[in-house]
Amino acid sequence: MKRLLRGFTILWVVFRYGLDGLLLDSFQKPWLRLLSRALSVGRNLDAPRGQRLRQALESLGPIFVKFGQVLSTRRDLLPADVADELALLQDRVPPFPAEVAIATIERAFRRPVDEVFLTFDRKPVASASIAQVHFATLRDRDGVEREVAVKVLRPGMLPVIEKDLGLMRLMAGWVESLSADGKRLKPREVVAEFDNYLHDELDLVREAANAAQLRRNMQGLDLVLIPEIFWDFCHPEVMVMQRMKGVPISQIDRLRAADVDIPKLARDGVTIFFTQVFRDGFFHADMHPGNIQVSLEPATFGRYISLDFGIVGTLTESDKEYLAQNFVAFFRRDYKRVAELHIESGWVPPNTRVNDLESAIRAVCEPYFDRPLKEISLGLVLMRLFQTSRRFHVEIQPQLVLLQKTLLNIEGLGRELDPELDLWSTAKPFLEKWMLEQMGPQRMWRELRAEAPHYAKLIPELPRLLYDALRQRKPLDGQNQVVRELLDAQHRTNRLLQAIIYGGVGFVLGLLVMQFFVRLRIF
């Protein structure tokens, strides 16, 4: 019953804000346009269409707001007026009262807010679909006053999200049972993945842990800044972190006026994304412009500032290797290898003809190479690949849904910063170097070092293990025969130890020589 009521609520919001008219007006059939005009009689639809769409998404709740945030980055797919309005969803969602935020903080820390912070700004600096942020000042363990940002969870979020997720599960079940592509698209698994990510966002301690992990991973890259977390002031409903000072990345004119290298900023964004995905397998999965700033401080000038870590994506080693091989094959235009990878991974039926799949992938991707980003729409490429996948019964991989969403965000960001950016040529050297590190001598050397403690423990035990094995054999005639066998076993053990030592030294020297020549070729 609750799902049915929620469904009626969605239909009512669509009708109230005239979204049905926007949909019907997009068709060319005259009778559909006439129906749109008939339905609009008696309704006040004077507000611009973008504003009505934004207000409708805001009234439907956090899931729909997040959908609008993703859409706002795709200016190549949306009219400019609609994209501008949806951009307001990134950090300008109507805030909840400061009194509610203060009550949440005092309930979390069990003391008045004035005892927690030296100062607390009651006016929120940013407000999003899940939480809002206030600036404050606190005294850390060393007695130093620190400027901080306090993130406070919106009250009553869980019941709202549960209602929407319940409706999405119901609709996913309908799609799976009624659609010919239902089983291949795995809508229930996709909804389950979305469920996990949304619930993760409702626990700010988990978000703080995500931020700490990303901060460690990115320390050596010198391209992005991630705030420090103050663990003594973290709670599932409240998170306190270092206050970051930067310019929102959407304010490109302001960045240009400050002499920020915009094309380099675009390239750095691609590098950060691919580093998090393929090196770490742990990536920021909510990279819309509202969560990204640029530092203008002298010591960190031109670096990204990453915020809001409620949604992160993770990839297994097999996922990373498979994706990297696909990307490299795409960049090399080796469409046959792409087809083979799809078959090897089990994403398509094993009886699929490689040549047919190769030809279909080539027809989709070949027209887009050697073009600047302004002439490439990754959204359109993905749509054509989706049509191709239907023909070959490709199974959707739910664990990669976040990666696809983030890749679309990255494309939208790159398009805003530098329309001339060549996404392919920027990413190709990084992925080829990563593949060399994963498949070449560097990986062998890392695995050898990782296994060294095990080998060091095993080698001294070999004589005892051989002796125990001899004792378990059937008894032989005569004591001399036993002694002779023990001596032979000891000689074999000595020869084995010598072979292992010489072989290990030779193997290590060979790796060092190979690594030397590899470095010469790369650098």
Contact 184, 348 (CB under 8 A): no
Please name the residue that has the structure tokens 């309704």. Answer: 43
Contact 294, 249 (CB under 8 A): yes
286 a catalytic residue: yes
Please name the residue that has the structure tokens 């002031």. Answer: 233
- As a residue count, the chain comes to 523
Nearest-CA neighbor of 201 among 73, 308, 294?
Answer: 308
| Catalytic residue of the set 286, 319, 418, 422 | 286
Give the helix ranges, DSSP H, for 89-156.
98-109, 113-116
Nearest-CA neighbor of 249 among 409, 134, 377?
Answer: 409
Tokens of 307: 């915020």
Number of alpha carbons in the 13 Å side-chain half-sphere of residue 261: 10
Look at strands 312-314 and 247-248 and give their pairing: unpaired
Contact 247, 254 (CB under 8 A): yes
Residue 369 CA to residue 425 CA, distance in Å, equals: 9
Q: Residues of 469-495 as b/e, b for ≥16 C-beta within 10 angstroms?
A: eeeeeeeeeeeeeeeeeeeeeeeebee
Residue 291 CA to residue 304 CA, distance in Å, equals: 10
Residue type, position 408, single letter: L
Active site amino acids: 286
